[in-house]
Structure 1
Amino acid sequence: MIEHTLTVAGATVDARHWIGGERVASAETFTDVSPIDGCAIGEIARGTPAEAAAAVAAAKAAFPAWAATPRAERARILHAVADGVEKRLEELAIVETTDNGALLRSHRHGVMPRVAHNFRFFADWLLKLEHEDFDTRGHTNHVSWDPAGPSVLITPWNAPLMLATWKVAPALAAGNTVVLKPAEWSPLTASLLADIAAEAGLPAGVLNVVQGYGSEIGDALTSHPDVRRISFTGSVPTARRIAASAAAHLTPLSLELGGKSPLLVFADADLDLAVDLAVEQYDNAGQVCLAATRFLVEEPVAEEFTRRFVEKAGQLTQGDPRDEGTDIGPSIHPRQLEKIDGFVRRALDAGARAVVGGHRKDGHYYAPTLLTDVAQDSEIVQEEVFGPVLTLQTFTTEDEAVRLANDTRFGLAATLATGDRERAERVTARLVAGTVWVNCFFVRDLQAPFGGSRQSGVGREGGSWSFDFYCDLKNTVTAPNGWSQDHG
């Protein structure tokens, strides 16, 4: 007999889909495994195209009423969702740590508070969203943001709830209804979000959650003629399949596809700061799309930078992410661990040198790694590893630094360490990246546009850019003095 509810670290999680305001089971399940110890958490409903179609139908049925709901009421409900997140913050934190292996202290103090903030931010932004009317030869132009319709949101496993709500919150604020498909390696907090949203008063069908494998239900979601928007965070190959699937109905896409971002360290940088920024790239066991995994260090300071980095990295504690003293947890899944190890082994075989790590540890853990003696055209420099694996190269001139930084097919982010303001301005102007951090890292404001260049993605979200994507923008042009009657 299939158990529909799971007990996860003392919390109760429903393992079924959430469709049209009701829990829906599937005939088959898949096993959710904790990366902390490799033990099974439980069986999760394994969606089929039938459940995917039912979720889209529920979203379509709920759309007219939700789209017509006044902005202030939509904002009120989103704030109520944020209240629910804050009320259940500890539960969400421990469930997500169990599910994806990220640090519990980060979930408690950073990630889950940010989930609540995502809802509050877009609720508030909705209420001030406007464009000043403008005149064209006496005619009045009025710009409005019309809800687009059912939106399919496909989210990754590395920060499941936060990255899901970066999409869910603006889509709902815009007046769209949502079908959320969480990653199969970390589905649990999406199910809890459905409960929280229902308790907050979100009408049935406005948010639907369908679990399962993308290979089995992805096309049923992304090729559906009633879907009006698709937002995806994940790999380039999957994005290509989604784009091909969406092409039949020209469904607009927003794609955030990871990267191979550089950290440029110039000789005039504060080396202590640069090393702190470098070690920070091991955050979440390297499972961060924005991570600056390629260190480009000016030759005069490369030796000292490396020495300080090795010393500081050696102070990190890797282990159980539920322990307050842990700095690096596990990789999420045996397949991901095997992928990481394969990258490193091939790099070492090609002549790279591991000055830190370079090997697997017990369980789902991979040692924090820094590789030197790597060629610019090598796989380890060009391809996203998505694990705690960094490379170090040197440069001699500013032009060379920029050339190396831009010499991949990605363009998501870049980080720059320098003590020269004019150099920072020159270099950042030349970097191909959606976000550039100067003497800092991972400062992320929802007012700012977020997305990547080249194969790091298509489009931007955040602030008004999110509403531009999730809405159909309309310009209404009204002639002067054309009224047969005026109701005053």
Structure 2
Amino acid sequence: MNAINVIEPATGQVLETLEQTTEAELDLVIARAAKAQNQWSTESPQRRAQTLLALADAIERHCEELAHLEARNVGMPISDARGAVSGAATTFRYYSASPERLLGQTIPVDGGIDMTFREPIGVVGLITPWNYPLTIASWKIAPALAAGNAVVLKPSEMTPLTSLRLAELAAEVGLPDGLLNVVIGPGSSLGRKLVDHPSIGKIAFTGSTSVGKEIARRAADTVKRVTLELGGKSAALVFADADLDAAAEGLVGAVFGNSGQDCCARSRVFVQRSALDAFLTKVHDVVTSIAVGDPLLESTQMGPLISAGQVERVASFVDDASVFVRGSIPSGAGYWYPPTVLYPIQDDAPAAREEIFGPVVSILPFDSEDEAVARANNTVYGLAGSIWTSDAARSLRVARSMEAGALAVNSYTSVRVSTPFGGFKQSGIGRELGPDALDAYTEVKNVYFDTSIR
């Protein structure tokens, strides 16, 4: 077998060595999952709910363990990692109530009555990225299991450790053997095999738009259901009447959180020209005060990037751009890149147009509301966005005009477990979270009863 070295980004050293799953082993995993799913789908809704609730409790009990594992494997600051673990527990707790909410309809029709049922798809393949491994795994696993499916999860080979530990906790609380499976290997081989496999009924993928397009093409051969949460180049619109302090301070999380390795990062900030100078001053103070360093220190606000290759990629966007201000980074080992603000910059510059996936933000002045909306929408992406204003009518008007799936007014947040999350245009297909995700892991079965016979 080929071994995979899992690297700790803050040190550049090997954190753990894992064996890859072979394609032959994947076939066996999927067969075992299909057998487990047949049994799981016949369990009562109450039994499925109790098991998911027990897993939520187990995640909470192991919060520190999981948070340290995530911080070391991803480079995420420990305080953020604790939040990610807590969020995963909340997700499983939310969907623990879902098995009893899988309701159908009764529909009166000529000559009889019609009933609908929501049935599980079967075995689903989940492919998750390296930036928020436990968080995004929970978004997919919890509704999939709640709906009665079995899961084959392929996390990124760069950050698989919390996914593996989650599967162990699931077994400890009584999830049936074979129902939640974690396989390890690169997307170019193992992920492709998972997408192509005829016994996989659905693929849910989070990652780049380019890979999502390839998955959609390959899934079409077996008419697999797909949910694709893809890239973004999200915009924030800051109007002159906004709370400029809050809008600037919020950039710590909105752009530099997880070192900018976030598909929802508000990496284009459009600022009304009359407020531009004041906003830039505030941003300068925010960026130069960001604490970049060891993810395990409580004071750290931003950690390293995931790899040396990611550092090179981010730098390539900044090399030819005008840097307004950048923060500081530690010296020595690790994959560090400073929080960076680009200004002045044109809308068509690569750094303002392409997804960088690093701690870089472009500041772009505008004059009118219509201009700001048009420029914000001038992108192939449509994942998230923010509107900063004290004018309630404007906030609603702009929100309805922006082409994005997850918008926030006077906030940079994008995700709540009870609400749908996903994008417009090339930012994806389908929705994660909320009741929409539960529906996406089911098929609707229609049954007609002829009542005319006496």
Give the structure-1-normalised TM-score: 0.89
Which of 460-469 and 67-76 deviates more? 460-469
Please point out which of 89, 95, 102 is paired with 2:63.
Answer: 89
The answer on 1:268 being equivalent to 2:241 is yes
User: Residue type matched to 1:356 in 2?
Assistant: R
Give how far 1:129 is off: 3.0
Please point out which of 456, 461, 477 is paired with 2:427.
Answer: 456
- For residues 426-458 of structure 1, what are the alpha-carbon distances to aligned partners after superposition, in whole Å with 9 as ceiling and x for unaligned? 111110001110001215222211111111001
Give the structure-2-normalised TM-score: 0.96
Give how far 1:266 is off: 0.5
Report how many aligned residue pairs link the two structures.
452
Report if the CA contact (8 A) 2:7-2:15 is conserved. Answer: yes
The answer on 1:309 being equivalent to 2:275 is no
Give how far 1:468 is off: 1.8
Report if the CA contact (8 A) 1:293-1:391 is conserved. Answer: yes
The answer on 1:385 being equivalent to 2:359 is no
Give how far 1:80 is off: 1.2
Matched residues in 1 for 2:308 and 2:325: separation?
Answer: 25
Give how far 1:126 is off: 2.4
The answer on 1:280 being equivalent to 2:253 is yes
Structure 1 segment 225-244 matched on structure 2, within 5 A: 225-244=198-217
Please point out which of 176, 184, 200 is paired with 2:173.
Answer: 200
Structure 1 segment 123-142 matched on structure 2, within 5 A: 123-137=96-110, 139-142=112-115
Residue number in structure 1 paired with 2:407:
436
The answer on 1:43 being equivalent to 2:20 is no
User: Residue type matched to 1:321 in 2?
Assistant: P
**Per the alignment, do residues 419 and 139 of structure 1 end up closer, same or farther by CA in structure 2, a change over 3 Å counting?**
farther
- For residues 156-195 of structure 1, what are the alpha-carbon distances to aligned partners after superposition, in whole Å with 9 as ceiling and x for unaligned? 1111111101000100111000100010111111110111
Matched residues in 1 for 2:341 and 2:330: separation?
Answer: 13
Report if the CA contact (8 A) 2:102-2:147 is conserved. Answer: no
Structure 1 segment 25-424 matched on structure 2, within 5 A: 27-108=1-82, 110-137=83-110, 139-281=112-254, 282-345=256-319, 347-348=320-321, 352-357=322-327, 362=332, 363-424=334-395
The answer on 1:466 being equivalent to 2:440 is no
Give how far 1:474 is off: 1.8
- For residues 114-148 of structure 1, what are the alpha-carbon distances to aligned partners after superposition, in whole Å with 9 as ceiling and x for unaligned? 11111111111222232453433474332221011
Residue number in structure 2 paired with 1:14:
none
Give how far 1:478 is off: 2.8
User: Residue type matched to 2:378 in 1?
Assistant: D
Give how far 1:95 is off: 1.0
- For residues 257-285 of structure 1, what are the alpha-carbon distances to aligned partners after superposition, in whole Å with 9 as ceiling and x for unaligned? 02000010001111112112233221111
Report if the CA contact (8 A) 1:357-1:370 is conserved. Answer: no
User: Residue type matched to 2:177 in 1?
Assistant: A
Matched residues in 2 for 1:445 and 1:376: separation?
Answer: 30
**Per the alignment, do residues 246 and 443 of structure 1 end up closer, same or farther by CA in structure 2, a change over 3 Å counting?**
closer
- For residues 272-324 of structure 1, what are the alpha-carbon distances to aligned partners after superposition, in whole Å with 9 as ceiling and x for unaligned? 12112233221111111111110100000011001011112222110001001
Report if the CA contact (8 A) 1:47-1:213 is conserved. Answer: no
Q: Secondary structure at the match of 1:68?
A: coil
Matched residues in 2 for 1:293 and 1:53: separation?
Answer: 41
- For residues 13-46 of structure 1, what are the alpha-carbon distances to aligned partners after superposition, in whole Å with 9 as ceiling and x for unaligned? xxxxxxxxxxxxxx22011110011111121112
Q: Secondary structure at the match of 1:152?
A: strand
Matched residues in 1 for 2:93 and 2:15: separation?
Answer: 31
Matched residues in 2 for 1:305 and 1:119: separation?
Answer: 40
Q: Secondary structure at the match of 1:248?
A: helix
Matched residues in 1 for 2:339 and 2:44: separation?
Answer: 50
User: Residue type matched to 2:109 in 1?
Assistant: T
Report if the CA contact (8 A) 2:293-2:329 is conserved. Answer: no
Report if the CA contact (8 A) 1:358-1:370 is conserved. Answer: no
Backbone CA RMSD of aligned residues:
1.7
Report if the CA contact (8 A) 2:204-2:227 is conserved. Answer: yes
Name structure 1 gaps, 5 residues minimum.
1-26
